[in-house]
Structure 1
Amino acid sequence: MKRDELLRNIIFHYLGSDDFNGWVLPTDADAGLRNEVAGLVRDRLIDVISSQDDDNPHIKRYKPPPAKLQLRRLMSDYISFRVCLYPTAEALQVHGVRFDEREPYTSAVRQGEPQNSFRAFPLSMLEEYDRNPDYECWIFEDGGTIWYRGVDAEACDFEFAPSIEEETFLLVYLRRLAALSPSQQRNWSRFETTEFRPREYAQPDLFDPET
């Protein structure tokens, strides 16, 4: 498979799959195919995520490992682990993928952002939703759920996290927000804040692992 065809297949698979999945590299990929993949990695047009990096490499949950480590994964004589290929944000931009304000969180994933990145929201957001009869808030010790009680009921889970200033925020995985309808995505985006500064030990599973 030639370089341009390979890149096109990876991009089309990512954009066309239900969960923005990676293109699976066959375990018996020959040297020619792996060399094409390595060239695309060096040019920062694709990323390699393997089951050595994440239990589920079929979605890009976290920031991919450094390119040097990705290339080492490809140099194995026999790939005995699962390997998925993803277009980089740069490749998607060249392909014409742009931000769509009608569905801001799906758009962020479509542009290549990891699905386990997060968005922060002020605690005061709960008060507004709680006063709105179209919504129901379930609050637990570590987080909760906001339900939309429309014709097509929707829910989105959040977690509480303290900031470095000891202020509590709501944190939501991007993949949860992206699963909402476009109207609910726009509704959530009204409250989104960039003021959250995490404490080092706050919700470590929400942040990219060290690579």
Structure 2
Amino acid sequence: MREEQTQPTQTKTEDYRWMVGPEPVAQLSHPEKEMALVDGEMVPVEVALANIVEKVSHAKKPVMVVPGRMVLWHWEEGPPGRAKIIRELAAAMGAEIRPIYDIRPAYPMARTACEINPYHGDLVIAHEKYDVAVFYGVDCPYADVALKIIDQGTECYTIALCGKLGHVDASTTLRDTGMDRLKILTEMFLKYKQGEDKN
């Protein structure tokens, strides 16, 4: 007995629909040169710096998240000078410094004398109830994930001072941020505090 063969159904052209997806990871594009993103809006860097000074100065518990290699170890000629600039900025902001250790153990054998698992910045920020977090120099993939989780899981206002393209998941992000810009920001904080002291 022969089985009847069924003809494949024809799809009409008008039945076909192009479904776009999945949704893009980021709804915003990175800031352009000499521009910054503040709460999703593209603004000049000067406006963003003034916003950072305002936000951090009114924070109850600000924190600065930086790689441990920038503030803890003298492993080449540059770090002591960079560490001094970062510490001066944190002092001007009135912020704690939370170094992120970016030397991961080479599993399965960890050399505990010189290697450590980095803590999860997002968990620390949520647990310590920081209300403003400033990221500087943190490796971009690590910062992207941490900022996304902080944005979704806490009320913390995040600021990413990035040396590359910026981080769209931060509340405020600047690109191409180097030591010169950190010095400018430190001066802005000091002037802001002097103005408040006079009032």
TM-score, reference length from structure 1: 0.22
Q: Which has the higher contact order (CA 8 A, sep 6+)?
A: 2
Q: Which has the higher helix share?
A: 2
Larger Rg: 2
Q: Which has the higher strand share?
A: 1
